[in-house]
Amino acid sequence: MQLRSITESPNELTTDIDVASPEGIVRLLRASDAQIYNGYRDYPAVCDDEIVARIAQAILWAAPLMGRRDAAIVISGAGTSGRLAMFAARTFNRHLATRRQVPNFSYLIAGTDLALIKAQEGAEDDPHQAITDLEPLIAGKKRILYVGITCAFAAPYVASQLWHLSSDARAKCILMGFNPENRARDMEVENWDKTFADVVRAINGRPNCMILNPVVGPEPVTGSTRMKGGSATKLLLETIFSLAAGSAGGKSDLETVREAITRYEQTRVTTYEQVAPIADLIRLGGQALRQGRHVYYLGTGSPGIVGLIDASECPPTYGAGFDDVRGFLAGGWRTLLGPGHDLSAAGPWYRISLDDFLANQASDLKPDDLVVALPEPRWSPALRETFNKVRRAKAHTAIVETTGGRSAAPACDVHIRVEGLPKSLLPGTHLFGEYATKLIANALTTAAHILCGKVYQNRMVDLRISNNKLYHRTLGILQDLMGVSAETARRCLLRSIYGQDRPTTAVLRAKPSQHVAAATSAAKVVPRALIMAGSRASYAEADRLLQREPVVRSAIERLSKKD
């Protein structure tokens, strides 16, 4: 029997997060994030000896390869994991360039660079495209370090690449995630003859492979691995490669590793001392989304990239409209990926510069919109000018400063300044300021969606089913919240996807990929399925109820009272 992934389990700390005040939500997130360092139940945490020893070994693997033309360091993932792979590769390539060394980090994200901004449906479920993407990055290299990130040990995209490289004499492979090995997904992967669990069993114990999987506990909102999973991913990647860059042999003694990890925990503590202003920010974000308005991040450099990543995660996580939360970055694609990578012609979603914001969003600002500035230490003239235009439009404004800047900031409604963070592990970077920015941005968008009814208890109940993982997550939500069997959950979900009270034989026999494709363009799939699973309501009756009461928890409670 398949054991449930810890990353897909509800966190007992946050069961009532959907009815908490903004201050209460911040405190619950603070308690949940503490599990990154302190651990969960009796599983190993990032600070425990066995995990610290694996990090030290990873540093020894990485140090000799960094900056070498004949070596490739490839970081790969899907969704949040792929975006953080990009962020890490960018950080360390820039560092190598300042030392006049070859910037030999590469990243892969399922769905190509388009997925950095907008989730690409089903991309992480294609094991064959994964190899096609990988091969050009390693061709002709004498040595390879591959880091595959999948929080739940579930992404076929990563499993396929691990399998491919695990028998390559040039390669050392690290599987990074936050699930015990025995909870890796053991379900059929379409068009492949292995499961993720098969790959875990095959690489476990191989001298050229490592499983780096501290257990950081369930997410505060179930399955939202952009939060703790993303934070722990950033911690691990930066600790490994910063210490690997520290000397020719890499700084890998256990105490040095432990001290580096402790700095991230110090950052969490310092950031969450700002409960009151973070709660004020959350109120404005919730008000914006409840009124059908927007949350916009305007940023420069790495803080701006953190905002861009946070915004990109809201549609797949909460079923949000793409324009509900947007991120804009001074310099746009040139800042994000460098010259030659401009994807703004791919569609309106990919117009991400401050100039794009001024051209397309600024003229429509209303008082209920929230605009959040994420500056580097020195406010750039472009960001200051754009932010002042926002203020003149009377939208709500906030500033989040985490990188130690002392330049005078414009007036705003909420000003969060996190000071006293530890010294960065990597010269010339703001790793801990980025970490603090991520915690605050995640808190804002998570709580804003909670406040507008996207969460029931601590379950996302209006997510967009864009891949196999989210399809199976939805089935688990239906079973847990409505207390129905696996088969009833499946039938109710299919009824909601296809708009049928009696799914056809063809629908019942179809593969999950077909259901994912059909669900992508449908609205309110999960809320409708919940109502049908918890009652005898038809598809049409469930749809009418949601039109009268769009807040999912209220709709379910109204249904319960009626029964």
Phi/psi at 168 (nearest 5 deg)? -90, 120
Is residue 249 scored above 60 in pLDDT? no
Convert the pLDDT of each residue in 410-423 to its tens digit.
Answer: 999 999 999 999 99
Dihedral of CA 364/370/374/379: which sign? positive
Is residue 360 scored above 70 in pLDDT? yes
The rounded distance, in Å, linking the Cα atoms of 400 and 144 is 38
Convert the pLDDT of each residue in 58-70 to its tens digit.
Answer: 999 999 999 999 9
Range 116-125 average pLDDT:
91
Token reading at 389: 């235009």
pTM of the model: 0.93
Could you identify the residue written with the tokens 């300042």?
A: 98
Query: Is 88:238 a contact under the CB 8 Å cutoff?
Result: yes
Closest CA to 232 of 473, 32, 480: 32
Q: Please classify residue 535 by burial: count the beta carbons closer than 10 Å to its beta carbon, then call 0-12 exposed, 13-18 middle and 19+ buried.
A: middle
Query: Is 136:66 a contact under the CB 8 Å cutoff?
Result: no
Question: How does residue 467 score in pLDDT terms, banded at 50, 70 and 90?
Answer: confident
Convert the pLDDT of each residue in 419-436 to its tens digit.
Answer: 999 999 999 999 999 999
Looking at 68-72, 225-229, 346-350, 509-513, which range is the least confident one? Answer: 509-513
Is residue 562 scored above 70 in pLDDT? no
Is residue 557 scored above 80 in pLDDT? no
Question: How does residue 361 score in pLDDT terms, banded at 50, 70 and 90?
Answer: very high
Looking at 161-175, 340-354, 496-510, which range is the least confident one? Answer: 496-510
Task: Look at residue 116 and give its three-state secondary structure.
Answer: helix
Token reading at 72: 């490739």
Question: How does residue 220 score in pLDDT terms, banded at 50, 70 and 90?
Answer: very high
Question: How does residue 289 score in pLDDT terms, banded at 50, 70 and 90?
Answer: very high
Convert the pLDDT of each residue in 304-343 to its tens digit.
Answer: 999 999 999 999 888 889 999 999 999 999 999 999 999 9
Enumerate the H helices of 114-154 as residue ranges.
127-138
The DSSP secondary structure of 247-301, one letter per residue, reads STT----HHHHHHHHHHHHHHHHHHTT-HHHHHHHHHHHHHHHHTT--EEEEE-H
Bridge partners of residue 305, in order along the sequence: none
The rounded distance, in Å, linking the Cα atoms of 297 and 306 is 9
C-alpha dist (Å) from residue 509 to 190, 400, 491, 505, 522: 14, 50, 11, 6, 20
The rounded distance, in Å, linking the Cα atoms of 149 and 58 is 14
Task: Please state the length of the chain.
Answer: 563
Q: Which residue has the higher pLDDT, 405 or 273?
A: 273
Is residue 555 scored above 90 in pLDDT? no
Token reading at 96: 């190598």
Average pLDDT of the chain to the nearest whole number: 94
What is the structure's pLDDT at 13?
A: 97
Question: How does residue 403 score in pLDDT terms, banded at 50, 70 and 90?
Answer: confident
Token reading at 48: 């425990």
Residues contacting 12, CB < 8 A, separation 6+: 218
Is residue 196 scored above 70 in pLDDT? yes
Q: Sort residue 55 into left (φ over 0), alpha (ψ -120 to 50) or beta.
A: alpha
Dump strand ranges (E) for 166-315.
171-176, 209-212, 295-299
Helix, strand, coil % (nearest 5) of the chain? 50, 10, 35
Range 120-131 average pLDDT:
93
Question: How does residue 546 score in pLDDT terms, banded at 50, 70 and 90?
Answer: confident
C-alpha dist (Å) from residue 61 to 51, 251, 416, 488: 15, 11, 39, 49
Dihedral of CA 53/58/61/63: which sign? negative
Convert the pLDDT of each residue in 369-401 to its tens digit.
Answer: 999 999 999 999 999 999 999 999 999 999 999
Range 221-237 average pLDDT:
97
Phi/psi at 354 (nearest 5 deg)? -60, -35
Enumerate the H helices of 313-364 as residue ranges.
314-318, 332-337, 354-360
Convert the pLDDT of each residue in 517-538 to its tens digit.
Answer: 999 878 889 989 999 998 888 9
Range 24-43 average pLDDT:
98
> What percent of the chain has pLDDT above 70?
97
What is the structure's pLDDT at 247?
A: 62
Convert the pLDDT of each residue in 449-464 to its tens digit.
Answer: 999 888 888 998 888 8
Query: Is 300:380 a contact under the CB 8 Å cutoff?
Result: yes
The rounded distance, in Å, linking the Cα atoms of 315 and 324 is 8
Query: Is 342:327 a contact under the CB 8 Å cutoff?
Result: no
Token reading at 533: 């699973």
Annotate 187-224 with b (16+ C-beta within 10 A) or e (fewer).
eebeebebbbbbbbebbeeeebbbbbbbbbbbbbbbbb
- Name the CA dihedral angle for 358, 333, 449, 431, rounded to a multiple of 10 degrees: -120
The rounded distance, in Å, linking the Cα atoms of 523 and 499 is 11
Is residue 39 scored above 80 in pLDDT? yes
The rounded distance, in Å, linking the Cα atoms of 281 and 452 is 15
> What percent of the chain has pLDDT above 90?
82
CATH numbers and ranges of domains, the chain: 48-252 (3.40.50.10490), 275-452 (3.40.50.10490), 456-562 (1.10.8.1080)
Is residue 181 scored above 60 in pLDDT? yes
What is the structure's pLDDT at 221?
A: 96
